[in-house]
Amino acid sequence: MPKQSKIDHSLFLLIVAVLAWAVPGAGHFVIKERKRAVIIFITITLTFLTGLYVGSVGVIDPVGAWPWYIGQMMTSPAVGMLGQITKTGQYTSYGKPADIGQIYTSIAGMLNLLCIVSAVYMAYTGRGEMIGEEEDV
């Protein structure tokens, strides 16, 4: 019985990590850290969108700027879909706006990586609660 419980907890931690990567803040939302989840979602999304606004969608370049792309992919798997669109070369971005856009979008990814680690750690230590468990009032 304890082995099954350990597997269930490991699966829960994996689900928290995947959700936190898929949608910034979702990992914290699952462990009932709602306010923190909203703050994370807004911060990371606005940082990423600011980078796209400044540098255009062309800053997501999996071919020509793959080191930046790795950081950008930490934001969400949706960046991978944008990367497939920009791979054709139709959306190019040059100069200082492109550099600033790459920096902003990569910072959003690195911030989300920290939030993923935070959500998994909080779930591991039991600081947050699993959805479906009753709160003691």
> What distance in Å separates the CA atoms of residue 83 and residue 71, rounded to the nearest whole number?
13
Q: What is the pTM of this model?
A: 0.83
Q: Is residue 92 situated within a structural domain?
A: yes
Q: Is residue 66 situated within a structural domain?
A: yes
Residue 22 has which token pair? Answer: 């898929």
Q: Is residue 132 situated within a structural domain?
A: no
92: nearest Cα among 57, 66, 49, 68: 57
Residue 43 has which token pair? Answer: 């911060």
Q: Is residue 10 situated within a structural domain?
A: yes
> What distance in Å separates the CA atoms of residue 94 and residue 82, rounded to the nearest whole number?
18
Q: Is residue 130 situated within a structural domain?
A: no
Q: What total number of domains does the chain contain?
A: 1
Q: Is residue 108 situated within a structural domain?
A: yes
Tens digit of pLDDT at every position of the chain (137 positions):
455 577 788 899 999 999 999 999 999 999 999 999 999 999 999 999 999 999 888 899 888 888 999 999 999 999 999 888 888 777 777 778 888 999 999 999 999 999 999 999 999 988 766 555 555 54
> What distance in Å separates the CA atoms of residue 83 and residue 69, rounded to the nearest whole number?
8
Domain that holds residue 116: 2-125
CA distances from 20 to 25, 31, 52, 60 (A): 6, 11, 21, 21
Q: Is residue 135 situated within a structural domain?
A: no
DSSP state of 136: P
Residue 53 has which token pair? Answer: 């606004």
> What distance in Å separates the CA atoms of residue 73 and residue 60, rounded to the nearest whole number?
9
Q: Is residue 131 situated within a structural domain?
A: no
